[in-house]
Amino acid sequence: MRHVIGAAILWLGLAAPAWGDYKGALTAYNLGNIDAAATELQPLAAAGNDDAQALLARLFDLGSGVEQDYGLAALWAQKAATQGNAWAMAHLGALYRFGDGVEQSHTLSYVWYRLGELGGEAAAGKKRKELEKLLNPSERKEADALIEKSLSGPAS
């Protein structure tokens, strides 16, 4: 029993900084210390912090504090988006719209913009409306079906 409690305390002690340091990374980012922010964000993102994943995706997209890599931008945005991060959903919309790190797809771009909009990312709604004009009726139908499937949750 003592070993289980010790292991739990050790795990909590190691896991807590991974979630608690996001504010420090964000502060570094906001103060323009992008290199420090990128360094701090990587273990946080790897530990599953969706905010860190979303911001790290932005850094890889822009090449700020890290070497520009659209593939890694898409990877981290996807990880954050699947956890419900609305900003990451909107970011994925942009990546799919322009084919940065993913195969270009106006349908998937529309889907991610819509999901980001529903999650509270107002700018995603504006982008979705712009993109809507580019979709033909079958693409729009496919997009609506994907959105509906996403909103209905995992199949039981």
Q: What's residue 21's pLDDT?
A: 84
Residues 88 and 140 in one domain: yes
Q: Does residue 6 register a pLDDT over 70?
A: no
Percent of the chain with pLDDT over 90: 84
Q: What's residue 20's pLDDT?
A: 56
Residues 73 and 90 in one domain: no
Residues 125 and 63 in one domain: no
Residues 36 and 67 in one domain: yes
- The 10 Å Cβ neighbour count of residue 156 is 3
Domain end call among 32, 59, 77: 77
Q: Does residue 3 register a pLDDT over 70?
A: no
Closest of 19, 71, 68 to residue 45, by C-alpha: 19
Residue 108 tokens, joined: 């998937």
In SS3 terms, 23-65 reads as HHHHHHHHCCCHHHHHHHHHHHHHCCCHHHHHHHHHHHHHCCC
Please state the pTM of the whole predicted model: 0.84
Residues 4 and 70 in one domain: yes
Residues 47 and 88 in one domain: no
Q: Which distant-in-sequence residues (6+ apart) come within 8 Å of 20 by Cβ? A: none
Residue length of the chain: 156
Q: Does residue 5 register a pLDDT over 60?
A: no
Q: What is the pLDDT of residues 58-112, one digit of tens each?
A: 999 999 999 999 999 999 999 999 999 999 999 999 999 999 999 999 999 999 9
Q: What's residue 153's pLDDT?
A: 78
Q: What is the pLDDT of residues 104-131, one digit of tens each?
A: 999 999 999 999 999 999 999 999 999 9
Residues 147 and 90 in one domain: yes
The least confident of 5-14, 15-24, 33-42 is 5-14
Domain end call among 51, 77, 103: 77
Residues 71 and 104 in one domain: no
Question: How many folded domains does the chain comprise?
Answer: 2
Domain with 34 in it? 1-77
Could you list the beta-strand ranges (E) of the chain: none
Residues 60 and 121 in one domain: no
